[in-house]
Amino acid sequence: MPEPGPLGTSPPEQGPTPPTATPDIPAPAPPGPSATSAASDFLAALHPPVAIPDPTPPPAPSPTSAPAAPDTTAADSALQRILRGPTGPGTTSLALADTYGQRPDPAPPAAAPPAAGRAVPGLYHHPVPEPDPVRVEEVSHRIKRWAEDEVQLYPEEWEGQFDGFSVGRYMVGCHPDAPTVDHLMLATRLMVAENAVDDCYCEDHGGSPVGLGGRLLLAHTAIDHFHTTAEYTPAWRESLSSDAPRRAYDSAMDYFVRAATPSQADRYRHDMARLHMGYLAEAAWAQTGHVPEVWEYLAMRQFNNFRPCPTITDSVGGYELPADLHAQPDMQRVIALAGNATTIVNDLYSYTKELDSPGRHLNLPVVIAEREQLCERDAYLKAVEVHNELQHAFEAAAADLAEACPLPPVLRFLKGVAAWVDGNHDWHRTNTYRYSLPDFW
């Protein structure tokens, strides 16, 4: 594991690598960024056009109607030039693309069959290529073995729900630059552990707002360890195996800290504390039956959201965004907007699922309908508009930061966060086991 350098220095040549990494399935090369002449066009590199294949394609055109050849004379983008580094004799070792894993103009991966599902009409999003099916299968196999054999995550009757979660497809789609499956497993274990806590402590499987604070605090000690006297330490250690959520947190975090740098691990601990604080706010409102103002709900969702997932993109990618660059206000704004936008995606796709569940579930359409006196359809459509504004704000903030600070780890981190946002939407769109859209169109 690399030692973190002092604040303000460039990242180490070798990024975090899981200690047991073995020869692995290579990462499929992502499509190359669109050609542009300025770093302000960073969005073009973040979201190159992706053609989503039609499940029932029309017959092939006649051989006489050959398509036009693509234009290959456009200038390289500033991002590509930065990553490629200087050219000429003796400059090979200076190529930043070798260090940060983004080589210009890679060959695209072979297309996989399209998945089922449709996007929310009017939702601003970016299509993504189908996740590499070989990696999806391997991650799905490994995570199930971990869940069943290492942490005893669920009883037999919950197996179908675990399979329906499709977490292998989820994480492969969200982390296209992960160098190995071992790196992907870092994110996958943490994602499964986070969902176990949410389901078992907060929602579907015995969760309740009553006493949630105590349960979350004790579970959090599996992530941010308890330091006490010799007399009381054994009882705490024993508590980490007392239920499935704590076993999952403890194991997933153990894998993560052995692969990540200390600053990356501490970043994750702080983001999880934010998440747990958001859980507690929502639980407090549930206990009193309070429906917050729309802005209050959105503030809660800035904490109770996906933030811990995209912010480990550098750990999963095998490099590090230095702590001082991560802490910059402009970077924090980008991260917050990304988390806020992608969490509203969850509100929109889980809307009908939550309506069919016992009790009243707060989500953005429900809160807008209550507080702004709109019908369900109009409230839902306004929630789509809120998402779109947040997504555009995220992309604009990312582009501004890329132009102001075009350092390779910053550019790669921004691209990783954007890839996570896009992959998260695609997983929601295609997971028809969990989600269906309301009949509003």
The per-residue pLDDT for range 205-225, each reduced to its tens digit, is 667 888 999 999 999 999 999
Burial 332-369 (b: 16+ CB within 10 A, else e): ebbbbbbbbbbbbbbbbbbbeebeeeeeebbbbbbbbb
Q: Tell me the C-alpha distance between 173 and 23, whole Å.
A: 21
Amino acid code (one letter) for 265: A
Q: How many CB atoms lie within 10 A of CB 232?
A: 10
The reply to whether 140 falls in a domain is: yes
Whether 380 and 351 have beta carbons less than 8 Å apart is answered as yes
The reply to whether 370 falls in a domain is: yes
The reply to whether 92 falls in a domain is: no
Task: Give me the tens of pLDDT residue by residue for the chain, a chain 441 residues long.
Answer: 444 433 333 444 445 555 444 445 545 444 444 433 444 566 666 666 655 444 434 334 333 333 344 343 333 443 444 344 444 444 343 344 444 444 444 444 555 566 678 999 999 999 999 999 999 999 999 999 999 999 999 999 999 999 999 999 999 999 999 999 999 999 999 999 999 999 899 876 667 888 999 999 999 999 999 999 999 999 999 999 999 999 999 999 999 999 999 999 999 999 999 999 999 999 999 999 999 999 999 999 999 999 999 999 999 999 999 999 999 999 999 999 999 999 999 999 999 998 887 778 899 999 999 999 999 999 999 999 999 999 999 999 999 999 999 999 999 999 999 999 999 999 999 999 999 999 999
The reply to whether 55 falls in a domain is: no
Residue 303 confidence (pLDDT): 98
What would the two tokens of residue 145 be? 């073995």
Please choose, from the candidates 187, 426, 146, the residue with its C-alpha nearest in 3D space to the C-alpha of residue 315.
187
Element (H, E) at 330: helix 329-349
The reply to whether 15 falls in a domain is: no
Q: How many CB atoms lie within 10 A of CB 141?
A: 12
CATH number at residue 337: 1.10.600.10
| Residues written for the chain | 441
Residue 17 confidence (pLDDT): 52
The per-residue pLDDT for range 271-308, each reduced to its tens digit, is 999 999 999 999 999 999 999 999 999 999 999 999 99
Residue 338 confidence (pLDDT): 98
The reply to whether 373 falls in a domain is: yes
Q: Tell me the C-alpha distance between 7 and 414, whole Å.
A: 19
Residue 342 confidence (pLDDT): 98
Q: How many CB atoms lie within 10 A of CB 1?
A: 15
Amino acid code (one letter) for 341: A
Residue 48 confidence (pLDDT): 61
Residue with token string 């507080």: 371
* Residue 147 backbone zone (phi > 0: left; psi -120 to 50: alpha; other: beta): alpha
Q: How many CB atoms lie within 10 A of CB 193?
A: 29
The reply to whether 44 falls in a domain is: no
Range of the domain at 328: 134-430
Q: What is the dihedral of CA 146, 148, 151, 156, to 10 degrees?
A: 150
Q: Tell me the C-alpha distance between 248 and 139, whole Å.
A: 17
Number of domains the chain contains = 1
For residue 300, the number of C-alpha atoms closer than 13 Å in the C-beta half-sphere is 20
Q: Give DSSP secondary structure letters for 157-201.
A: GGHHHHHHH-HHHHHHHH-TT-SSHHHHHHHHHHHHHHHHHIIII
Residue 114 confidence (pLDDT): 61
Whether 283 and 212 have beta carbons less than 8 Å apart is answered as yes
Rg (CA), the chain: 22
Output the pTM of the full model: 0.79
The reply to whether 418 falls in a domain is: yes
The per-residue pLDDT for range 43-69, each reduced to its tens digit, is 666 666 655 444 434 334 333 333 344
What are the two backbone dihedrals, phi and then psi, of residue 378, each rounded to the nearest 5 degrees? -65, -35
Q: Tell me the C-alpha distance between 174 and 215, whole Å.
A: 29
Q: Tell me the C-alpha distance between 121 and 269, whole Å.
A: 36
Residue 44 confidence (pLDDT): 67
3-state class (DSSP) for residue 238: helix
Whether 301 and 267 have beta carbons less than 8 Å apart is answered as no
What would the two tokens of residue 393 be? 């704000």
Q: Tell me the C-alpha distance between 92 and 31, whole Å.
A: 23
Please choose, from the candidates 204, 193, 203, 202, the residue with its C-alpha nearest in 3D space to the C-alpha of residue 171.
193
* Residue 412 backbone zone (phi > 0: left; psi -120 to 50: alpha; other: beta): alpha
Question: What mean pLDDT is reported for the chain?
Answer: 83
Whether 117 and 430 have beta carbons less than 8 Å apart is answered as yes
Residue 355 confidence (pLDDT): 86
Residue 50 confidence (pLDDT): 59
Residue 85 confidence (pLDDT): 42
Q: Tell me the C-alpha distance between 171 and 168, whole Å.
A: 6
Residue 203 confidence (pLDDT): 73
